[in-house]
Structure 1
């Protein structure tokens, strides 16, 4: 009888262990696919410029004087609480307005929303070529950021120094999922022309590597929902808090009644 009981306990432990491993291991089926199958889709990670983006645009040429008028001036500023002006000058950025436009020197108002950095660079080179010979244009998105929320070790907003960031990069920068993160249902929320789009990832499946949402866009939100264990613990904690609160109220009431009874008896 004891041997049977021990066998049942060991079997239960093994089954629980396997289930836990299946719930937290990434890319469980990766050995089923070849590298060609996992990269069959040509995923484009180039970010599209959108309203409220801050763009730095620098124009250079063989004749610097010819393109100087197209570059915003470098400025030094006084930081809050500092007595001395910051020694390293900074360049101003172009803020894309809510209509998707920027005001560019000489060229005036330009519609840039929906373009990639490369497309905007090509457009500016073509227009500036009228004024300067063989211009080179460098465009950067200065406020490229994503937010990672939910069951990760370091939730928050992450500033990305370049535009190539995958969902795995973002999760890594957020300290990876906690043990309570639901790996099979990670949500990416994206704003496209004022409309919200949602896409769900299963981190246990290698097919996520082929998703068009694998590379994130600026202002994307990654949300990792809690798994059943976390939700169960949360409910248990809430019930415990409620029970403690009720018990505390009852004890307080009994204490008050006891004090009143003693005071009446003394009189």
Structure 2
């Protein structure tokens, strides 16, 4: 009996050692060191396959109407899906085709840059005197995969969101997630860049590159216990419970 109890104690110690510790679970453990730190939002640049909504307006709506898709008659009553279908799709070369202005090079520019570019062309080419131009990206989305409660493709309406916002949209990380090495994959100027982020630290919050942008991919890896169990055991406490249950059953059978 003593040997069995010793075995159970050693087994519990082994399981607890393999369990996830607080240091590997808690986010932003040194956040107090970054109180009142400046915010860096960065800028989002337009990429191929983005869908743009470009509204041109003027004091006289009739003179601005030809520069809007459908003459600007649809307005704000259109659904998002319809606007995506009728928006300006950026070609692999980074171009869109607008009414009258024809081809406009927008790839690599920010939405604010495109607003200035279109406004300048309308004025310099003699079409409008003092137009107002508004540009929005309609299909902002990111993909998050791995150890989150709700993986998949997630849309967002802002120009960019924080990494913590993205994790929140995915229902938070699971207990089995590795928080010290989150991979952020981004395409910039035709190249793929991979960032490695430690969520238990806070320094990354001041880095503008770590704000989520259009088409970003976030990969959350599983810890060794989840990998070694083949995905059958999702929580170390679950594994401990199963082992103790089988041990208790064995003792009951043996004593009877």
1:217 matched to 2:213: yes
Q: Is the 8 A contact 2:18 2:225 kept in 1?
A: no
Deviation (angstroms), 1:134? 1.4
Q: Residue 149 of structure 1: CA displacement? A: 0.4
- Quote the Cα distance in structure 2 between the aligned partners of 1:149 and 1:103: 35
Q: Do the aligned partners of 1:45 and 1:163 also contact (CA within 8 Å) in 2?
A: no
Instruction: Name the structure 2 match of 1:193.
Output: 189
Corresponding residue to 2:62 among 65, 84, 88: 65
Gaps of 5+ in 1: 77-86, 238-267
Supply the RMSD in Å over aligned alpha carbons: 2.7
Query: CA separation in 1, counterparts of 2:151 and 2:20?
Result: 27
For residue 122 of structure 1, report the CA deviation from its aligned partner.
0.9
Equivalent residue number for residue 123 of structure 1: 117
Deviations 1:188-238 (A, max 9, x none): 00011221100011000011112232211200000000012211222888x
The aligned runs of 1:1-267 (5 Å cut-off) are 16=17, 20-31=21-32, 33-36=33-36, 38-39=37-38, 43-73=40-70, 90-91=82-83, 92-129=86-123, 130-234=126-230
After the TM superposition, which segments of 4 or more aligned residues of structure 1 sit over 3 Å from their partners? 15-19, 87-91
Contact 1:61–1:67 at 8 Å: present in 2 too? Answer: yes
Aligned residue-pair number: 216
* Alpha-carbon displacement from aligned partner over 1:152-198 (angstroms, at most 9, x marks no partner): 00000001112121111111000000000000000000011221100
CA distance in 1 between counterparts of 2:194 and 2:169 reads 21
Paired with 1:17 and 1:25, the residues of 2 have a C-alpha distance of: 17
Unpaired stretches in structure 2, ≥5 consecutive residues:
234-256
Which of structures 1 and 2 has the bigger CA Rg?
Answer: 1
Question: 1:162 and 1:109 mapped to 2: Cα distance?
Answer: 26
Q: Give 1:18 deviation, angstroms.
A: 9.5
